[in-house]
Amino acid sequence: MKRITVLKFGGSSVASIEKIKAISEYLKKRTENNEKLLVVVSAMGKTTDSLLKQAAEITADPDIRELDTLLAVGEQNTISLMAINLNHIGVPARSLTGMQAGIKTFGQHTKSRIANIDSEFILKELEKFDVLVVAGFQGVNENKEITTLGRGGSDTSAVALATAIAAPCEIYTDVTGVFGTDPRLYPEAKQLEQVSYEEMLELSALGAGVLETRCVEIAKNYHVPIYLAKTLSEKKGTWIMENIDLLEKKVVTGVALDKNILHVTLTCNGCSPDFVEKLFNELDTQSVNIDMISQVVVGSNINISFTCKKTDKHFLERVITNLSSAFPSIESTIREDCAKLSIVGSGMRDVSGVAARAFRLLGKNDILFYQVTTSEISISYAIDENNAEKAVQLFCEEFNI
């Protein structure tokens, strides 16, 4: 039996016909080395942005079911072109949409989640073809409607497929691997040879942007090692794996910066105790992912602050509107000029003094923070966006990132 490997190529890697041809030649060499390949691809270049722009020219609030149908076109374009080219150069290949690949989803349109995958069908198709080219980012729900998984969903598709067929997963993009922080913010940042699922999960969730959070979560839950590297590069990439397999554990592994956040404060004076419950029910109904939650209660006066993605602003406004009808005294402040700065490291749970160094560094450099949250392996701050890049550089120097 030939070895099966899942490979994923991002949008910048397949941004032109020339790039698709180059990747096809690489895939051909892999198949000649006794491999069967399941290749997950994104839309070419900025195709998704272009499709969103077209919809925005019609309305600022498009129907999300129709938006999913529109956005799925991007990946279908890529899979067809790659399969055409593979067959042209003598590699038996077939393209599959998310629906054809049996990627079943649930949840709200534009941010659906994967329920299960028809692995039996995929394995049978791999007996007939050397390469299956699957559209990432999409699937089909119980109503047979096309759904999408949200930005970065192709990473999730790839790891979920690898899990379903018990294969290793390689993700190729335009970076050589995982760095301690974004090299554009701190050029001296070091590339990591290995990073634990736990640390990568924190870095992704906190805004590092290298891998989509859900894909790391699936890999962690099902023990699927991920290899992240630059497309068609000879340079070694980064392995994301179990914490126990790491050769060296740093106190602070990385610094993450997320500028795509809203800092939200809701104040309700004279509110009934069920205010908080109804708030979180509304956030859940609108699928608004929140972070950095803090609450202050004085008598019947409740003050809650949290952060969420700027892309969820429309859904957040619906939440506030719905709450206002039940709680007329509610006041809301939404700040768009904030950033979330985080330090992450599995060694933090065993070494004292990391928090003291971090707070001292911010204070010494007059960088104010509006909210702070911690986990066993991370500390996150909501700070002014105009101080964000300076803070990244300070933390990287302090912790030798």
**Residues of each annotated binding site for substrate:** 48, 75
Cβ burial, residue 58 (10 Å; 0-12/13-18/19+): exposed
Please provide residue 46's backbone torsions phi and psi, each rounded to the nearest 5 degrees.
Answer: -95, 25
Dist. CA 401–CA 388, nearest whole Å? 16
291 touches 306 (CB < 8 A): yes
Residue positions forming the annotated binding site: 8-11, 48, 75, 173-174, 184
Q: Which residue from 288, 258, 209, 295 is spatially nearest to 382, judged by alpha carbons?
A: 258
What's the one-letter identity of residue 58?
A: I
Residue at token pair 């906190």 = 206
What is the largest distance, in Å, between two alpha-carbon atoms of the chain? 74
DSSP state of 125: H
Residue positions forming the annotated binding site for ATP: 8-11, 173-174, 184
Dist. CA 248–CA 274, nearest whole Å? 48
CA–CA–CA angle 101, 105, 110 (5° rounding): 110
Contacts of 274 (CB under 8 A, 6+ apart): none
